[in-house]
Amino acid sequence: MGGHWPVPRELLVRHRAGVAAQVFILIVGVILLFGALEHALWIGIGMVSAGLAVRANLRAERRARALTKRKAKEIWKTRLAEWDAQTHEGIVEKKLSELIRAKEEYEKLEIEEKRALDRLEIVALNLQKAQHLQRHSIAFAAISGIGPVRKNTLAYCGIVTAADIDRQKISRIHGFGPATTGSLLAWRNAVEQNFSFDRAKFLTSPDAQNVTAHRYAREAELRSKLVKGPAELTRTANGLRARRTALRPLLDEAARQYAKAKADVGVLW
> What's the number of domains the chain is made of?
2
* Residue 68 within a domain: yes
Q: In the chain, pLDDT over 70 holds for what percent of residues?
A: 79
Taking the C-alpha atoms of residue 55 and residue 11, their distance in angstroms, rounded to an integer, is 9
Looking at residue 225, its pLDDT comes to: 93
Looking at residue 266, its pLDDT comes to: 78
Asked if 147 and 227 sit in the same domain, the reply is yes
**φ/ψ (deg, to 5) at 146:** -120, 100
Looking at residue 114, its pLDDT comes to: 96
The alpha carbon of residue 28 and the mean position of all alpha carbons in its chain are separated, in whole angstroms, by 79
* Residue 2 within a domain: no
* Residue 256 within a domain: no
Least confident span in 23-27, 58-62, 218-222, 241-245: 23-27
Each residue's pLDDT tens digit, 149-197: 999 999 999 999 999 999 999 989 998 999 999 999 999 999 999 999 9
Looking at residue 244, its pLDDT comes to: 83
pLDDT category at 19 given cuts 50, 70, 90 is very low
What does each C-alpha distance from 131 to 118, 172, 183, 195, 230 come to in angstroms?
20, 25, 21, 10, 53
Asked if 67 and 43 sit in the same domain, the reply is yes
3-state secondary structure of 143: strand
* Of 10 and 196, more confident: 196
Residue 258 has pLDDT above 60, yes or no: yes
Looking at residue 11, its pLDDT comes to: 47
Looking at residue 112, its pLDDT comes to: 96
- How many other CB atoms sit within 10 Å of the CB of residue 14? 17
Asked if 106 and 72 sit in the same domain, the reply is no
Q: What is the pTM of this model?
A: 0.56
Contact indicator for 138, 156 with CB cutoff of 8 Å: no
Paired residues of 111 in beta bridges: none
Give the single-character DSSP code of 35: T
Asked if 214 and 111 sit in the same domain, the reply is yes
- How many other CB atoms sit within 10 Å of the CB of residue 79? 20
Taking the C-alpha atoms of residue 221 and residue 131, their distance in angstroms, rounded to an integer, is 39
Residue 74 has pLDDT above 80, yes or no: yes
Mean pLDDT of 31-56: 57
Asked if 203 and 220 sit in the same domain, the reply is yes
* Residue 188 within a domain: yes
Residue 53 has pLDDT above 70, yes or no: no
* Residue 84 within a domain: yes
Residue from 132, 135, 192, 131 nearest 184 by CA: 192
HEC states along 99-116? HHHHHHHHHHHHHHHHHH
Asked if 79 and 180 sit in the same domain, the reply is no
Give the single-character DSSP code of 139: T
Asked if 131 and 206 sit in the same domain, the reply is yes
Least confident span in 41-50, 53-62, 179-188: 41-50
Each residue's pLDDT tens digit, 83-138: 887 877 788 888 889 999 999 999 999 999 999 999 999 999 999 999 999 999 99
pLDDT category at 212 given cuts 50, 70, 90 is very high
Q: Which domain holds residue 26?
A: 9-88+263-267
Q: pLDDT averaged over the chain?
A: 83
Taking the C-alpha atoms of residue 215 and residue 110, their distance in angstroms, rounded to an integer, is 7
**At 107, which amino acid appears?**
E
